[in-house]
Chain A
Amino acid sequence: MSTTTAISAKGSHLGRIWVIARHAFTQLVRMKVFYFLAVFAVIAIVSNFFDLPQHEGPETMGINVLRSIKSWSLGTMTLFSVVLSIVATALLLPKDVEDRTLYTILAKPVPRLDYLAGKLLGVLLLVFVSLALMDGLMTVVLQIRSTMVLGEQLAMAQAQHWPQDAIESMRLETALHGPSWSLQGAVFAVFLRASVMAALSLLISTFSTSTLFTTIISFMVYFIGHFQADARDAYLQAGQAGQGMIGRMGSLLVSLVLPDFQNFNVIDAVIEGQTMPLVALAKLTLVGLYYAAFFTLASWYVFAEKEF
């Protein structure tokens, strides 16, 4: 069934959005974006089986390898998800214009908001599936290595007649660096950040003239977004710091216009073995949804009156 037929066949907004999302997802998959998963697989497997040169004492035996696996994997996931969400979103609208699919869809009784939401959902679906696959691979690799590390540690502890409480303490510490719910939470935080970036790229692409422009601006916003909290703090504490009016207004403008990505850096704490409370993740999800909803509505506002 062609996209346009499928769209007209569905009456509800949700139905239309879902059809467009599936189409966008298929369109992106056909662009062979999943090839990067092969690169990730190599990184994950190599980081598991090669012991990188580093300082290892008997107390930390193997734990650093687990930290490295998490660090490499989550780092790669962040990189791929952000690149994927920006580039895929930046490509979608120009490609639909180029293929003339856009004209066919908009000629049907399809609200432009449904079209945009569907496109965004398609990209998010792609990012989600990619992250889920990478997460699965990371968890398997981490599980295998954790079991190996624990086995080595137990053998060492028994050979040295460690007391039971010391063995238990070591086991618990090693378990902190193995697969955990916090680690899944960190992957979800990676997804949330990528979702915000996808929604933002969608907004930019509605008024941009080229894919390149959207991509460059989105990446710039992404990096500056990691400073946004500094600007906000500078604004909020400006009275104490004796900052001038212009500086204060500049900080305020940056903090109002740009998204704050620093809060999503909870993944660093998880890599370091911290537990992520569910409440923190729920609050981050709210932030992500808030951004995604606003940027989508703003995109619609720009896109609604656009002439093609």
Chain B
Amino acid sequence: MCSRKRNSEPVKNWQRNGILLAALLAFGAARMPYEAALGKQLRAERLTPPPLEIGTRDRIGQTSSAVALGGLRTLVATFLNLRAFTFFQDQRWDDVAETFDTIVDLAPRTRYYWETGSWHSSYNAASYYLENSKLPALRRREAWRAAICRGRAFLERGIRNNPDDWSLLANLGFLLSDTNKFPAFRDANETFMAAADAYRRSADTGKALPYVRRSQLYSLARVEGKEQEALALARSLYAVRKNRTPTLLILLFVLEANENPAEDVTQRAIEIFETPQKAYDALSVHWHRTRERFPVFGVAAALKSLETTLVISPEKSIFNQPLQAPAGPDDWFGK
């Protein structure tokens, strides 16, 4: 009805289709380098997520897979996060871990998922095996250790995916220096070093809060052989008044005492803490923090001297107060 009269020979159908296909291919060839470069740039700028793993597609099922592949990955992650909460309420720890593995594959840039997944494993699952399980002690102990190690590995994977995220790094430092967690790792020295390193990297991002650099010191001070490095850090932190927390003052004191055993520790304690009473109180608290494995160079000598100065009776002497035994899996699960 609406066809036009043509003077030339009409193009046959197969010719038209051929021309269209050729144009489609030429158009594709023209855009391919641009799109490839753009894709690379967006991935480098972390604006597009890495491709979805085959295992993840299997785990989330056909429907969710289609939704995720349709450009709605974060939406599927939101749904799975709700499912993980149900698993958490039912204390199904393996399911919680598996769900979070899938979630972070769908939304690898969301800090919340990394932190929550790690927290479930290192804290909730580990506490469950510590307190509530009816398993034999030996198996509970192994499950507790495995849960903490899995939480650490999960967080480290999150850091590899988000190397500039100060909070993930700080959380790793926090986990590795936690009194109730570091005994899960075989070498305390190595663990504190790893914690200090995580805190250092977090603070070096420039986005972390000031407590992170102080936490680096708190971990580094516990590493045997790193006392000089720790002292240098303590001095630089001490130079800023805002940083002068009780723990920092104590560590400055003990690290100086380690560097110079000949110094008058009592005099130095009074200088740092301002009065003999304040020095005595702070050092007494430190003396009792046995579980944290902080160094105690010069603390005993200073306390003895301060007790004489402050005329503290032998009954009230800090040395006559019971000390907490360093706790660990042997105490928690029985030898």
Contacts and interface: CB of A to CB of B under 8 A. Distances in A.
B48 A55 contact: no
Nearest to B2: A106
B246 interface: no
A287 B38 CA distance: 10
B113 to A, nearest CB: 9
A277 B46 CA distance: 11
Given A71-B75, A232-B35, A255-B28, A268 B116 contact: no
Given A301-B20, A308-B1, A308-B2, A272 B110 contact: yes
Contacts of B335: none
Given A52-B82, A54-B85, A301-B20, A272 B74 contact: yes
Interface stretch (B64-72, B216-224, B314-322): B64-72
A283 B11 CA distance: 37
Given A55-B116, A223-B69, A302 B74 contact: no
B225 interface: no
Contacts of B61: none
Interface string A45-89: 000000011110101100110011001101100110010000000
B34 A287 contact: yes
A169 interface: yes
B78 A274 contact: no
Contacts, number: 156
B47 A266 contact: yes
Interface residues of A, number: 66
Interface stretch (A18-26, A139-147, A256-264): A256-264
B67 to A, nearest CB: 8
Interface of B: 1-3, 10-11, 16, 19-20, 23-25, 27-29, 31-32, 34-36, 38-39, 41-42, 45-49, 51, 66, 69-75, 77-78, 81-82, 85-86, 88, 107, 109-110, 112, 115-116, 119-120, 167, 207, 209-210, 242
Q: Top 4 A-B pairs ranked by shortest CB distance?
A: A256-B28, A75-B75, A272-B109, A106-B2
Interface of A: 52-55, 57, 59-60, 63-64, 67-68, 71-72, 74-75, 78-79, 82, 103, 106-107, 163, 165-166, 169, 193, 222-223, 226-227, 229-230, 232-233, 236, 255-257, 260-269, 271-274, 276-277, 280, 283-284, 287, 290, 294, 298, 301-302, 305, 307-308
17 contacts: A54-B81, A78-B71, A103-B2, A163-B242, A166-B209, A169-B209, A223-B70, A229-B35, A232-B35, A257-B28, A268-B71, A269-B49, A269-B109, A272-B74, A272-B110, A290-B31, A298-B20
